[in-house]
Structure 1
Amino acid sequence: MAAEASSFRLIACRELMANHPDSLVIRQQVEAVEEALPDKPGIAVSFCRTLIETTCKTILVARNHTYENSWKADRLWLETKDALHLGQHVNGQTDRRLHNATEKIISGFNSVFEGVITIRNDHGTASHGAEAYAPLLDITYAEMLVRATDAIVGLLFKLHLNALGSTQEAPLRYEDEALTGFNEWVDADHGPFTVLETPLIASEALFRTDNSAYLAALTVFRQEQAAVESNAASVEGAQP
């Protein structure tokens, strides 16, 4: 059975990973989905929603947009769609007809996303209130859900990458105040280093030499910080 599981591949996600090998968060989730099929459909289904949400958050971070960990899936989806500037050409001009047509196509993902959430809640390993002897999800439905997720993730990232050259937003700069906390966190655990008598700051070296790895780590850092803040707020709200 292990050989069967290893033969399953998410084509669009694998193409993304080949072009951006440092997308570690997405890579881990993609591999988890692939390893779960066909023997553990519940696990595969549980990772589908996470994979889509991680993709949205990664795109927002790359485009210098902030998000809140408390956002529900539909808000996260809406913010990501807006950040993509659909229908915008390289010269910065927006083709209104192209924008409207593309938005109609993207809006169809809403139904797919709702299906992902529903099936994940009812049949995923992280579902709430599932009966101990409830029937396992048929592999056909699990594969359908996984393939749909693969298509969404692949298309979102292609739209993101293709539109980067046409957006007028300022790219992230190492000196941006919003990055100070993350840079200090990196530097606390790594370096400083000296190369040919030249001191190198770890966070800046990563930013300058491998921006994809920097953005991937920044996404994880912000997700973890948002989770800590959310838990702290919950504890504070629970206190009499």
Structure 2
Amino acid sequence: MSSLSFTERRDLEQYFGMSSGYVLTFSDRTFSEFIGEAVEMDIHSERFEIGGTSKANKLRAFWKLESDPVVGKLLLELVKYASTSTEHQTPENKSLGERCRQIASRLLAGSTALKPLKNHAKALDANHLADQIQRMENAVDCDPSLAIGTAKELIETCCKTILAEREAPVEGQPDIPALMKMAMKELKLVPNEIPDSAKGANTIKRLLNNLGTVCQGLAELRNLYGTGHGKHGKASTLKPRHAKLAVGAAATLATFLFETHIQTKS
């Protein structure tokens, strides 16, 4: 089941012209061919007829039954297709199309990795953290540089939030590796806190060292390709797959730090 909200479904239905039972200008045959090529599924199978047999109802059933990545992939292809039609060239429709593309990007952004992080942002009443998560979701496919830059900022926000929650002083404006060290020390995640006699001590220490490596890598990637620094006009950019790697790594690391914070906070 996808995580489409009521408002998202409303925008998508409006953009795809589904109120009449149709989807864009597709016939039954071209609709089947398009979806078959996009996600290798038969949209006319019985499982998608739970709400009716019109193309619009079958698409609604698809949204209900399929996962975020599958729905996101199809939506992105539908938005691309719709954006080429003459009727979708008005400023209003272009704006609606951009919202629909962002919805598709959200579903494709690795919601499995980001969902626990969203829950932590909500529990901590951390609005800035929630905004960063939303920004990464929206940008990962259309603006990889922004997604990469935000992934690095996410770790900074995570560390600062944990340190503030634990009333640990932060002096000056430490960079992200320094913040990470401070947070790990506060959470007793530094390698020298692990006794040599502990089972798997060497493996645990290596994994903890790698947390810092992930953090440093995100900072370096952001400096090279992310937003926040001016670059020359011919600078190359990374692809969405690189942004997904950065977002996934940042989300996994931040989730681990938040869960450690919650479980060990006295």
Compared CA separation, residues 58 and 103, structure 1 to 2 (3 A): farther
Give the match for residue 115 of structure 1: 217
SS in structure 1 of the partner of residue 184 of structure 2:
helix
Q: Is the 8 A contact 2:117 2:251 kept in 1?
A: no
| Counterpart Cα distance in 2 of 1:63 and 1:102 | 24
Compared CA separation, residues 27 and 66, structure 1 to 2 (3 A): same
Compared CA separation, residues 79 and 148, structure 1 to 2 (3 A): same
Q: Deviations over 1:14-51 (max 9, x none)?
A: 21332551221211111111111200001101111110
| Residue 68 of structure 1, CA deviation | 2.4
The residue type paired with residue 146 of structure 2 is: I
Give the match for residue 6 of structure 1: 106
Q: Is the 8 A contact 1:56 1:76 kept in 2?
A: yes
1:104 maps to which of 206, 224, 228: 206
Give the match for residue 65 of structure 1: 168
Give the match for residue 248 of structure 2: 147
Q: Deviations over 1:38-75 (max 9, x none)?
A: 00001101111110011001111111101124212222
The residue type paired with residue 137 of structure 1 is: L
| Residue 162 of structure 1, CA deviation | 1.1
Aligned residues: 158
Q: Is the 8 A contact 1:42 1:124 kept in 2?
A: yes
Structure 2 matches for 1:13-32, cutoff 5 A?
13-21=114-122, 22-32=125-135
The residue type paired with residue 157 of structure 2 is: T
The residue type paired with residue 106 of structure 2 is: S
Among the aligned pairs, what percent are the same residue? Answer: 23
Give TM-score, length-normalised by structure 2: 0.54
The residue type paired with residue 223 of structure 2 is: N
Q: Structure 2: state its 5+ residue gaps.
A: 1-100
Q: Structure 1: state its 5+ residue gaps.
A: 88-93, 166-240
| Counterpart Cα distance in 1 of 2:103 and 2:111 | 16
SS in structure 2 of the partner of residue 152 of structure 1:
helix
Larger Rg, first or second structure (1 or 2): 2
Compared CA separation, residues 103 and 27, structure 1 to 2 (3 A): farther
| Counterpart Cα distance in 2 of 1:111 and 1:86 | 14
Give the match for residue 62 of structure 2: none
109-118 or 10-19: which moved more? 10-19
Q: Is the 8 A contact 1:10 1:150 kept in 2?
A: no
Q: Is the 8 A contact 1:11 1:150 kept in 2?
A: no
Q: Is the 8 A contact 2:149 2:228 kept in 1?
A: yes
SS in structure 2 of the partner of residue 107 of structure 1:
helix
| Counterpart Cα distance in 2 of 1:151 and 1:66 | 25
| Counterpart Cα distance in 2 of 1:65 and 1:2 | 37
Determine whether 1:51 maps to 2:154: yes
- When the two chains are superposed, the root-mean-square deviation of aligned CA atoms in Å is 2.3
| Counterpart Cα distance in 1 of 2:241 and 2:120 | 30
Structure 2 matches for 1:84-233, cutoff 5 A?
84-86=187-189, 96=195, 97=198, 102-128=204-230, 130-165=231-266
* Larger RCO (CA within 8 A; separation ≥ 6): 1
| Residue 103 of structure 1, CA deviation | 4.1
